[in-house]
Structure formats: structure tokens, C-alpha cells
Structure 1
Amino acid sequence: MSAILAIDQGTHASRAVVFDTAGRILAVAMQPVALRRLDAVQVEQNAVEILQSVRGVIDTVLEKISVQVKSAGLATQRSTLVAWDRETGEPLAPAISWQDRRAANLLQPYADRAAAIHAITGLPLSPHYLAGKIKWLLENDRAVQAVFQSGRLCVGPLASFLCANLLCGKPHVVDHSNAARSLLFDLRRLDWSPELLALFEIPRSILPECRTTLAEYGSLIGHDIELCCVCGDQNAAIHAEGIPAADTALINIGSGAFVLREAGVNPPRHERLLGGIAVSRDNHVDYLLEGTVNGAGSAVDAMREQETEEEFRQLMTQWLADVVDPPICINTIGGLGSPWWIDQAPMCFVPENADRAKRIIAIMESILFMLLDNLAEMARDSIQKIRISGGLSRLDGLCQRLADLAGIPVARTTDHEATARGVAWLALGSDQPWTQEQPELFTPRTNPALKRRYRHYRHVLLTALGAKADWRRESDTTTRLNKIPRIVAHRGYRGRHAENTLTSITAAIDSGADAVEFDIQFSRDAEPMIFHDETLARMTGEQGRIFDYSREQLKQFAILSAAEDLAKERIPDLGQVIEVMAAHPRVLFFAEVKRHTLDHFGIEKVMRRLLADLRDNGKHCILISFEHECLEYARRNSALAIGWVLREYDAAHRAAAERLLPDYLIVNHEKLTGEPPWPGPWDWMVYEINDRELAGQYYRLGVDWISTAAVSELKECH
């Protein structure tokens, strides 16, 4: 029996895992390493401590097994720079962490070359990568300067330093995936770019030799084990299940969070994301597209107090279950990564006066919001599954929120060694994935409150960054050209059935409506009934107002039938519609609270009753109304989503909307002027449109939802 040694050197720990050739874990060793934050910008680690920890876990894990280790793979944190003496192997300065941004000012003179740099490297001009850090050491560190003058200076990513000290012969080498995080590496030529070395004034002589990720790197000192694979930690994690599927995105949430997707055999071109190398071997390269969130586990850990790691995890699990109204967090720990690439921006919470539990949940949601921004850049429509790994992925509540937000199933492996497993599989050299246990699957649920907070986050972020007034990116116009918005059945399928009846509501759902709108009036005994008018005559032929009769009396009145109704309908109550909601969790329901009932019973009485009925049973129900005050009450007293129906489309209503920040703005389509509707953290709905071409026109303007009586006719466009 033979085995493979996986060495996983991460930001907070070094790990060594031995797998057999079938992918079963035989032994594990782990040793923590320290991370030192000098200030908000400078982040360092002790390179000697890291090296000793790696040597320690290798020795420990090999002592635990009796089988022969066939080969080894090394995966490391990327973009962490080490400078060392070529002769002694001793580091000359602390390792400059991938989170470090001290070189930001040094890179400003190259801003006009950012597009050209991105075209060569696939990277934005950012201080997180190696080029700026190398320049900073050459200009500021006397020990580095002295060894450079003597001709003995070596610099490179952490993987290079470890290879030089773990392998016989002290090779100065780097794999393609780590070199690709330097701002100096040509993704097409697979070597250092002479143009960029000249631009940044970095001598090639101090840089390592570039090699494929799968290569014969040498033997581990003291062990007859050949190192066959070297790569970045995320590049390893994407291979934890073998060759990555084209329809799957990998999200790995550790100190930072990363979303990766295979990109084929040509370097990807994307202005706002990263291009990189998934794996390279002789005469073949697989590329990947990547997004990055700099502050993930590191941002959460900054809120930890005296708890142990396990105690803190238990607290987060409880808070994810209990906290329903966290603030919005603009998480700039380590700077804003993709797709924004803003180096210096203040971290903030909106509102500011939230307790610790709410702030921690806000930080976790901010990670998900930024991941969703990256998924959107990756063409989310073509992603069918998300595979998640990393420390924070152990939180069920976080995984479920991700599924709810993205609308895509999230699969979490029960194996927490994704990076080690990936690099071991690569080192084995197999083209068949290892058999693993079935992952835990989190399926999307309707979560309007979470999506409301995401829209609010986008609004706060774009406002803070001084982005364009238009809420949607220019690229959204292209994606909307041949599509129509989501369909709301106005008072049910009232084009075929009597409005606001159970038959009308269920027919709309059966016909494919994305949402159903219905109206709420109260009976004399303050029971919520599904009815539009104040008076009964139009729909029942009876005299009087709806609140002249009790619930039981109203349920005796027959609704005047529509053309396709087969039997007499009665006025339904809210409880009956809630049962329909429960049976259709993927359909949204818009419940309009009518002015007549609010005037007759008062906002407090009406809203207290509705919020009580919907709090547990109506999580995919949105309360809407023309009456601004009742929506303010709902916002203050619940986590339910709200929608404001505008009486006018004017400056006064826009200012009020920006104060209320509803989840939806709803307006008669005739009130729009042909210009894109107001930008903001809301979805737009227009009513009532029954023509397909007209629906498409409004969608291209930026309207998200069409309220209609012609459900089937508009759904035929899809």
C-alpha cells in the first residue's frame, strides 16, 4: 500500500495530511502559525516560524503511518512574499502577507498602465500582489538591500521559500499558479514578463525559475519523498473533487473568501475579475476565473473576544439562527477586492448602533454579498451548483443564506481538508476523481429580507464609492435585450377567473407566475379578508361596505363568476391564502393593505394583526401599500419585506422612497416617462401590462416585475 503526502500551508496553520491512493485520510497533523497586524495596512508573518511548522507537521504525520509515501504535494497561501539569502536559506525580513497593502503608494505611478498590466497578467494593479512588495523591500529594507548588492538575494512567494528550504539542492523555483499572483507573470507565455520586469524595475536574477504545477521539484530533505505538485491553496481546493465541472463554482471561505470557476484552455479576459492557472503540466494548461473577498474569516475573527475557537463558532451558529435584522456592513478589511478593487475605504455599519451579535452577522452577510457580486460577474445564469469549503463553511446558517441569496444549490463536503485533498489528488497524477461521501446540500429558499439587505448593501456601497447614478451596470442592458421581467399575477389570474379568489390565485401559480398579488380588507370583527373594494357591490352584488359584516357573514356571499370559473367562489380569508403560500415556497406573494381598512381600524390595529399572522407563515410574502405610514410601521416592527405603491412619480415621492428604502417600488406604467426608473436598493414593478412587447420595453428600461392579468400570455415569452 502506498500513500500521498499533502502539505497545506495556510494563513493561520500548517497542516500535513496523508491520503491513500483511493483518497482515504490516513493521518493528519496541524500546527498553528501567528499572523501579526502592525496596523490597518501592514500584515506580516514570521517566515522561520512557518518553515519550522511545516517541517514539524511533516515529521509528525509521517510518524503516525506505517505505509510508504509515494509522492507529495505542496499548497500554500498565495501572494505572501519572502526574501531570503540564496546561500543560507535564512529569511531577511518578515514574510509580507497576502493581506498586506503597504505598497499602495508605490504602485500609483503605474495607474496609467493598469489595463496593459491586466492584459498580460490577468490581475488588477493591486498592492496585494508581489511586484509592489518586492519594490518596497528593495527600497526600504537594509538587510534585503545588502544581500542584493552581494548577488545572493532570492525573492518569491511563500511556496518558493519553502521549496528552497525543504528540498535537496535548495532550488529557487516557483509553480505557475503562485507566479500568476505576482503582477510579473505572463499568463500566455507562462514565464516572467520582460516588459513588466522592466516597468517595475525588478531584476529577473532575484526571481525563481517558473515551472508547471505538476513537475519533479525534488526530494524532501530527510525523507525519500518526491515533491510532484506545487500550487496555491485555492488552486488545490478547486481540484478536491477532481477535474472541476464547467457548471460549478467553488467558494472557499478561509481568512479570505475566493470564488473560482474553470475557464478552459485559454486565459480568461475579464476587466473586474482575476485570471489564473488551475493546473499546468507539460504542453497543457487549464485556466480559471477568480473573484476574491479580502476580509472573510479575518474580518470575523477581529470581533472575537475571550472565546475559544469552538465557543466562538457555537456563538456564531446561535446568532445566525436568532438575529433577524442585522445592519448592513461595508466590509473593507484588507481593502475591497473584486469586482471593486478599492484599496482604501472605511469599514462601516448601517445603522452604526448595533450590538456585537448583529455586527458579526452583518460581517458574515457582507462576505456573502461580495461573493454574490463576483458570481454575477461570472455569468451566474450558467452556474448550476456552488461547492463550498473552508472554515466558515462549517456554519449551516451561512451556507443556507448563500443558497437563498444566489438561488443556486450549495454543496458542502463533509471533508474539511479540501485544499489538502486537491493537492494530493494532483500529486497522484490521476485523471479519475476520488470517491467521496455525498455532500450536504443546501437548497435555495425564499428569503426576501436577506435579498432586501443585499440591495441595501449595494445602495450603500455604490453611494460610498461615488459610483454612477444608474443602479445597474451597463452590461445589464445587454443581458436584458431579449428577455422579459418576472411576472406578477395581479389579484391572481383575473384575466380568466374572478379576482382575489383561491381559484384565481392557484391558477396563476399553475400557469407559472413568479408572484401573486392580492388585496387585504378587514371584516367588522377585524379579520383579514382577501378583497379589493371597500364596497361589496361590484364583486358580490351585495349592499354595504366590507367592514359592515363579520367574517362569517362575508364567507356566505358568493363572488360573481368570471368566464372560466366552474363553481361559485366565496371571499377567502388570509389564513386560507397562507396555506397556499406554505404549499408554494418558491412563489412570492404581494399582499396589498388597502387604505379603507387602515382608515377604519387604524394603522396600529391593522398592522399588528397582519404582522402577527405573517411573521411565522409569510416569509415569502411582501407587504405593499399606497400608505407610507403602514410600511414604516412594518419596517420598524418586523423583518418582512415591503413595497410602496406610488401615487405619483415625482421628486417628492423619490425623496420619500430614499428615506424609507423599501424592497419594492410599484407604479402605474403610464406614470413612467420612458427613462430608466430611479436607481436604488429596490426592485421596480409596474402595473398593469398585458402586452408582451410592452412588457419587454419596460424590462429593458430597468423594471424587474410586471403585474398582469395575462399570466400565460406573458409567460410564453420565456
Structure 2
Amino acid sequence: MNYILSIDQGTTGTTAVLIDANTMNFVDKLNKEFPQIFPRPSWVEHNLNDIWETVEHTVKQILKNNNITSDQISSIGITNQRETTCAFKKNGIPLSNAIVWQDRRTSEFCNSLSEKKDYIRKKTGLQLDSYFSGTKMNWLLSNNENVKKAYENKDLLFGTIDTYLLYKLSAGQSHKTEASNASRTLLMDLETTEWCDDLLEIFKVPRETLPEISDSFCNFGVTKDLSFLPDGIPITGILGDQQSALFGQAGLKSGDLKCTYGTGAFMLLNTGTEIKESQHGLLTTVAYKENGVAYYALEGSTYICGAAVQWLRDNLEIIKNSSDIEDLARKVKNLDEMEHVMFLPFFTGIGSPYWSSDAKASILGLTRDTKKEHIARACLDGMALSINDLLQAMALDTNEEIKTLKVDGGAALNELLMNIQSTISQVEIIRPKVIETTAYGAALASAIGAGMIKKEKVLELWKKSDSFHGNKGETSHYEMKKEKWTHYIKALFL
């Protein structure tokens, strides 16, 4: 039996997934977390060696756990945290920590380019924001001595995480990315899906340091000189994590919509081959590129979702495991106790639709009787209210009422959160049988790139597991909460 190996390199950890190459059935997954590095307030970094170690560990361990030999791997798919920016030498050695997508250190630089923001948005589909990779590359070139020296010595390569993993897997033979990841850099022309000379000049990023932009499904290269995989396994599918989740949710056609509840929360609406410019604070991005044709999406981005639960776990230590938040929040039996308690999870600013990079997280409305269960419930409310803002922007941009929402990601397993979301947003929440849709989407992309299946097969493979319809008895409570939410955001941050 042969398998597709999917490597899902996320913000807090790496997940290796095995898919049966004949049936496309999900076989197994294994995750390993790695440290988050916070050098200063609003700075977030990852050690690329830590990331690579988790890739090696999870791949070796999942093969061992399933008694699979490495020569049974037919192809590899990669999906990744998108805007996180890597600088490394041509021998693959990192020149610095990766600057994570959540990092806000380039906010002042973005402000200095404010007169160009409309041009940049038109050209890239993106807001001028420190979220995106081009600003981080500029910072590294301006502030990191190792990066400066490597550039002077013609030994500097940039990339997002997919590029770095591909480079390492191929022993430096493939310095490539693909259009969905490249569309998150502020350096790619959305229409041509090529690096744009004007943008490279604005951000002062040398073209020769950047990877080649490929289709999302193709032969990116083959494994070489690895201790944990044999030479010659083709890497045939790469997608940014949110686009991969859309793909794993069978979001192939215009109008398909999904929301991934991960470290952040990200909502994507497929718009087909049309580049749809948002009028309500959303982004325009590449969903995937096939046979030279780009397919696009509207995207709403909430920087903090599951990361808020992680903060309760690691910083406040009111829960031991992230999954414990559901049971703790369920201890709140009377929602009147929650009338004033609001959790605004803006630890790294606000993304869509408000785009306030200076916003900070806060917990409001506390009284002497507030307990940890109220904080937990308010945290879930804050996650759902953030996502409701994305849904409302989607409805305004499409001029259509949204009645259903496909969900995935780790926090989508929280049934209380799913019911809160359904109540707040007045939509049916649909959860698939394969909840790991990000990794699954990368495996499907790899299967297409390797010629194992046609793209249309993805529609047959998607299966519904559960749906949530909310609690009508809580509607008036959450209508009140939505008003407070909007009031606080406008009063505090806009």
C-alpha cells in the first residue's frame, strides 16, 4: 500500500498526516509543538531549526506508528503558516529566526508608505500591514547583520515557510513557492501571479533573493539527502494553510465558503477566476493556481482565535489543556452573569475588517463575582464575535445572505463554540468528517500534482459530519453582546 505524506507546518506546531494514496482516506496524524519566541512586546519569532526538527520528528514517528516504510510514500504535499518570513543561506542554514505573521514590528514602516497603500492594495489585493511578508523582508535587510552580510556575499535567500521546507527537503535543489503563498507577500502582482518590479522597489527586496512562483499542483522537486526519507520522493502539491483548508473543504467553485479555527481564524470565499476587490475590509488572495490559471478568493483574517485559549492555558494557567475550555465555559449556567464581561482577543492587533495594528487585547466588565468560567466563556464569545465580523463583511461584499458556513481546525471541535457561533451569526455551521482539512487539502493537492486524481474528485471525497443550529433562547443575549462588541472596538481602537 502506498501513501501520501502531508506536512502541515503551523504557527504552534507541525502535523504530519498520512493519506491512503488509493482511496484518499485519512489514515493518521501526529503533531509536535515548538516554542514561540517573544523578544519584545508585539514581536513574534520562530527558530527555523526548531521547526525543521518537528518536521523530522513527526514524519519519522508517524511512519513508525503505522509500521510504514519510507519507500511506501508516493508523494508529499506541504501546507504552511503563510506570511511567516524566512531568511537563509544557500546551504540551507538559517540567518535569523523567522518573523511570524503575527509580528507587528514593521507597523511604523507601513505607516511611512501610507501614500502608496491604495496602489499596493490594487496591485496585491492586500492591506498595507505588517502582517505580510514583504515588510518583514525589508526589516531583515535593514536591521539584521547576518542577512545584510549574506546579501552582500550573494548568499541570501528569502521565502515563506513552504519555500524553506521545500529547500530543506530537496537539499537546496528547489527554491520555489506557489501562487497562494506568494500572494501573501505584498510583492506579487495579483493579475500576473509574478513578482512585481514596482513592489520590489517599494519594499526594497532584491528579486534574486526570492523563490520562483509555480502552480500549486506540479512537481516542485524531489527529496534528497534526508536522514528520514529516501531520495526521489516527488513534492507535488503546496498551498498556504488557509487555501489548503478551502481545498480540503471541497471549496473549488465560486461561492464556496469556509472558516478555519486555528491559531487565528480565517474565512475564505472562492470567487473563481474573478479578482473581486473588497469594499468592506477583506483581502483578495489567490486560492490556487492550476495549469497557469489563477483562482481567487476573498479572505477575512482574525489574528487571534485558538491563540486566546492558549493564552488562558499558558499565561493565566486557568486551564491545563486547550480542550478544557469547553467544560469550564459550560459552568456558566446563567448568561445574565455574562452581560458585561467581554474578551477582546486583539493580542496582535485587529485584522479584518477594521485593520487596527495598534489594538491590544483586553477583558472588560469584570466585577467581584467574576470567576474563571466567566473568563473562559467570554473568550469563546470573543472568538465567535470576531468571526461574525468576517461573515458580515462577506455578506456585504457579495450582497448575499450567508446561510451556511463550513468550519474546520482544532477549535471547531469545541461544540459550545460552534453553537455560540451559530447563534451569533444566525447560520448553520457544518463540520466535515475530516476536521484536519488543512493537511488533507495539501494531500489532495499533492495527489493532483502527481496525476493520481483529477481536481473534480475532491468534490466526491468531502463528507459532512455534524451541523449546529445555535440556541434560539440565547439570541437576544448575543444581539446585545454584538452591539457592545462593535461599540468597544470603535471606542477603543478606531
Q: Same fold (TM over 0.5)?
A: yes
Aligned residue for 1:424? 443
Q: Deviations over 1:151-183 (max 9, x none)?
A: 100111111111111114432111111111111
Aligned residue for 2:451? none
Aligned residue for 1:439? 465
Deviation at 1:278, TM superposition (A): 1.1
Letter in 1 for 2:239: C
Aligned residue for 1:52? 53
In structure 2, relative to structure 1, the CA distance for the partners of 1:320 and 1:24 (3 Å cut) is farther
Q: Deviations over 1:170-219 (max 9, x none)?
A: 32111111111111111101011111111121111111111111111111
Aligned residue for 1:23? 24
| Cα contact 1:215–1:228 (8 A) shared by 2 | yes
Aligned residue for 1:229? 237
The 2-side partners of 1:136 and 1:146 are apart by 14
The 2-side partners of 1:440 and 1:49 are apart by 36
Match of residue 85, structure 2, among 61, 72, 81: 81
In structure 2, relative to structure 1, the CA distance for the partners of 1:361 and 1:160 (3 Å cut) is same
Structure 2: where are the runs of 5+ without partners? 449-453
Q: Deviations over 1:533-567 (max 9, x none)?
A: xxxxxxxxxxxxxxxxxxxxxxxxxxxxxxxxxxx
Aligned residue for 2:320? 308
Aligned residue for 1:342? 356
The 1-side partners of 2:145 and 2:159 are apart by 18
Q: Deviations over 1:89-119 (max 9, x none)?
A: 1001111111101111122210011111000
In structure 2, relative to structure 1, the CA distance for the partners of 1:239 and 1:365 (3 Å cut) is same
Deviation at 1:296, TM superposition (A): 1.0
Q: Give the SS at the match of 1:336.
A: coil
| Cα contact 2:251–2:257 (8 A) shared by 1 | no
Aligned residue for 1:262? 270
Moved over 6 A (4+): none
Aligned residue for 2:390? 374
Deviation at 1:324, TM superposition (A): 5.0
The 1-side partners of 2:292 and 2:135 are apart by 31
The 2-side partners of 1:308 and 1:250 are apart by 30
Q: Give the SS at the match of 2:479.
A: helix
Letter in 1 for 2:304: G
| Range with greater deviation from structure 2 (298-307 or 317-326) | 317-326
Pairwise mapping of residues 498-537 of structure 1 onto structure 2 (< 5 A)? none
Two-structure CA RMSD over aligned residues (Å) = 2.0
In structure 2, relative to structure 1, the CA distance for the partners of 1:456 and 1:410 (3 Å cut) is same
Match of residue 70, structure 1, among 71, 74, 93: 74
Q: Which has the larger radius of gyration?
A: 1
Count of residue pairs the alignment pairs up: 465
Deviation at 1:61, TM superposition (A): 2.5
The 2-side partners of 1:99 and 1:160 are apart by 19
In structure 2, relative to structure 1, the CA distance for the partners of 1:158 and 1:356 (3 Å cut) is same
In structure 2, relative to structure 1, the CA distance for the partners of 1:315 and 1:445 (3 Å cut) is closer
The 1-side partners of 2:362 and 2:31 are apart by 35
Deviation at 1:407, TM superposition (A): 1.2
Q: Give the SS at the match of 2:464.
A: coil
Letter in 2 for 1:78: R
Q: Give the SS at the match of 1:325.
A: helix
In structure 2, relative to structure 1, the CA distance for the partners of 1:320 and 1:230 (3 Å cut) is farther
Aligned residue for 1:37? 38
The percentage of counterpart residues that share the same residue type is 25
Pairwise mapping of residues 144-159 of structure 1 onto structure 2 (< 5 A)? 144-159=147-162
The 2-side partners of 1:320 and 1:158 are apart by 41
Deviation at 1:236, TM superposition (A): 0.6
The 2-side partners of 1:456 and 1:60 are apart by 48
The 2-side partners of 1:18 and 1:309 are apart by 25
The 2-side partners of 1:184 and 1:238 are apart by 23
In structure 2, relative to structure 1, the CA distance for the partners of 1:336 and 1:261 (3 Å cut) is same
The 2-side partners of 1:295 and 1:25 are apart by 28
Normalized against structure 2, the TM-score is what? 0.89
The 2-side partners of 1:22 and 1:316 are apart by 39
Aligned residue for 2:296? 287
Pairwise mapping of residues 61-460 of structure 1 onto structure 2 (< 5 A)? 61-63=62-64, 64=66, 65=68, 68-86=72-90, 88-221=91-224, 222-223=229-230, 224-244=232-252, 246-271=254-279, 272-304=281-313, 305=317, 307-309=319-321, 312-316=324-328, 318-319=330-331, 325-326=337-338, 327-353=341-367, 354-379=370-395, 381-429=400-448, 430=454, 431-433=456-458, 434-435=460-461, 437-446=463-472, 447-460=475-488
In structure 2, relative to structure 1, the CA distance for the partners of 1:453 and 1:122 (3 Å cut) is same
| Range with greater deviation from structure 2 (141-150 or 405-414) | 405-414
Aligned residue for 1:504? none
Letter in 1 for 2:300: G
Q: Deviations over 1:374-393 (max 9, x none)?
A: 11111263433101111111
Letter in 1 for 2:157: C
The 2-side partners of 1:321 and 1:278 are apart by 42
In structure 2, relative to structure 1, the CA distance for the partners of 1:212 and 1:437 (3 Å cut) is closer
Q: Give the SS at the match of 1:451.
A: helix
Q: Deviations over 1:577-632 (max 9, x none)?
A: xxxxxxxxxxxxxxxxxxxxxxxxxxxxxxxxxxxxxxxxxxxxxxxxxxxxxxxx
The 1-side partners of 2:16 and 2:334 are apart by 37
The 1-side partners of 2:142 and 2:172 are apart by 30
| Range with greater deviation from structure 2 (204-213 or 166-175) | 166-175
The 1-side partners of 2:345 and 2:144 are apart by 31
Letter in 1 for 2:457: Q
Deviation at 1:323, TM superposition (A): 5.4
Aligned residue for 1:14? 14
The 2-side partners of 1:226 and 1:195 are apart by 34
Deviation at 1:437, TM superposition (A): 4.7
| Cα contact 2:265–2:303 (8 A) shared by 1 | yes
In structure 2, relative to structure 1, the CA distance for the partners of 1:164 and 1:278 (3 Å cut) is same
Letter in 2 for 1:79: E
Aligned residue for 1:2? 2
In structure 2, relative to structure 1, the CA distance for the partners of 1:126 and 1:43 (3 Å cut) is same
| Cα contact 1:247–1:384 (8 A) shared by 2 | no
Pairwise mapping of residues 536-547 of structure 1 onto structure 2 (< 5 A)? none
In structure 2, relative to structure 1, the CA distance for the partners of 1:311 and 1:323 (3 Å cut) is farther
The 2-side partners of 1:410 and 1:244 are apart by 19
In structure 2, relative to structure 1, the CA distance for the partners of 1:5 and 1:79 (3 Å cut) is same
Q: Deviations over 1:32-83 (max 9, x none)?
A: 2111223331001110110121122222333432583222110000110110
Deviation at 1:345, TM superposition (A): 1.9
